Structure 1
Amino acid sequence: MSPPKAAPKTVPDRVAIKRVLISVSDKTGLVERAKKLAALGADLVSTGGTSKALKEAGLAVRDVSDLTGFPEMMDGRVKTLHPKVHGGLLYRRDLATHTKDATDHGIEAIDLVWINLYPFEATVQAGAGFDDCIENIDIGGPAMLRAASKNADFVAVCTDGADVDAAIAEMEQGGVSLKTRRRLAAKTYARTAAYDAAISEWYWKQLEEDAGDWRAFGGKLQQTLRYGENPH
């Protein structure tokens, strides 16, 4: 199968954020940042415990199940894996065919996602058993992050509070800039790659076998060295 070819694109420099989807495991700063997003005119959509925390803080929040028309199920394993979520993230706002599909199927644009992933690495480090580690492998989160990143020309993607703060600062100036959207997308792909690398390495260790032909490595930058500097 031949790879798809891109249609000519009209990309806005700044994107106004009208709808935000939030799904976070680490809820540090959640309410404060969500209040700022709402004050700037963004409608909030959220999942499970995140939605509960926002509602308890008095914020108007739409459950993702109301957006999709489909309930969360299977102990939360399936909640955002739905065309009304991924369509809202992936459709190109500049293509008439995409906007027609969105209109025909009741798909609403999602302009920003704020997602931090299930704490798989921390669960492993805590010495949890096999089944608990498996349950802390996030599926919907990485899928949404990757979808939003692919469509960074029209969508902003945030993986932590600092990303949200950067987006809010630009929203106060009229919208999130293209440079910031693409920078956040690059960061997001690194984050999801590191997450998958951690899962793969853990899985090989459970098998007590040497890793197969494919290996993945990832991590977070701890220090930027100066030219000629050797930490050893």
Structure 2
Amino acid sequence: MQKAERALISLTDKDGCAAFAGALAGLGIELLSTGGTAGVLRAAGLRVVEISDFTGFPEMLDGRVKTLHPKVHGGILFRRDNAEHQRQCLDNGILPIDIVAVNLYAFRETVADPACTLDNAVEHIDIGGPTLLRAAAKNFHDVTVIVDPADYPQVLAELKDKGHTELETRFRLARKVFALTSAYDAAIGQWLDRLDPASLPGCRD
């Protein structure tokens, strides 16, 4: 397996992220990030490439569309051992993203507030985060995906030792992702089930 070149870090829980990203940068890994996470990393003195600069396409729709772009998902999903995938990435300027560290909008915490409105709850349904996580977890043969800061030390230790993580580690982390995203979607579905459709505001054209 080739040495990791590039990491995408976009976190709601920023605990330890600057130290983790700093260690990645120290290994020569380029850092991609978005919004508040990019600000935290820059404040720590790290060089960060904004996703909008990486893709050449601006964040839009009040942040609803940030990472949903072929240069991001192609970079995560292409199989490194597939010559046709490599050719298509080369033809389309898609660079590899080897590490994805993402956690999700705090939906459960948001709807636990009795004052939470429907609009506020809906805006805390994460779209880009689960999509990134699922893409990276699907391609665990080539990509390391991290949803839990407790996994930072092992990932860093393996990267320092070999330049990449072990397949067993990537598989364990991928399983963690699917457990998280399934529970996240279940929480959204359960909350929506409690709503009375008759109480919803009128349809928006």
Same fold (TM over 0.5): yes
How many residue pairs get aligned? The number is: 196
* Distance in 2 (alpha carbons) for counterparts of 1:163 and 1:82: 27
Give the TM-score, by structure 2 length: 0.92
Query: Which residue does the alignment assign to 2:150?
Result: 162
Misfit runs of 4+, over 3 Å: none
* Distance in 2 (alpha carbons) for counterparts of 1:164 and 1:88: 22
Is residue 2:44 matched to residue 1:57? yes
* Distance in 2 (alpha carbons) for counterparts of 1:203 and 1:169: 42
- The structure whose Rg is larger is 1
Query: Which residue does the alignment assign to 2:172?
Result: 183
Determine if contact 1:16/1:176 at 8 Å carries over to the other structure: no
* Distance in 1 (alpha carbons) for counterparts of 2:8 and 2:119: 29
- Going by fraction, where is helix more abundant, 1 or 2? 2
5+ residue gaps, structure 1, are: 1-11, 210-232
AA in 2 matched with 1:163: D
Deviates more, 1:118-127 or 1:101-110: 118-127
> CA RMSD for the aligned pairs?
1.3
SS for the counterpart of 2:161 is coil
Query: Which residue does the alignment assign to 2:28?
Result: 41
5+ residue gaps, structure 2, are: 199-205
User: Shift in Å at residue 16 of structure 1?
Assistant: 2.5
* Distance in 1 (alpha carbons) for counterparts of 2:136 and 2:145: 6
Give the TM-score, by structure 1 length: 0.82
* Distance in 1 (alpha carbons) for counterparts of 2:40 and 2:104: 17
* Distance in 2 (alpha carbons) for counterparts of 1:165 and 1:86: 26
Structure 1 residues 89-108: aligned runs within 5 Å: 89-108=76-95
Percent identity (aligned)? 51
* Distance in 1 (alpha carbons) for counterparts of 2:85 and 2:4: 19
* Distance in 1 (alpha carbons) for counterparts of 2:173 and 2:4: 15
* Distance in 1 (alpha carbons) for counterparts of 2:139 and 2:111: 32
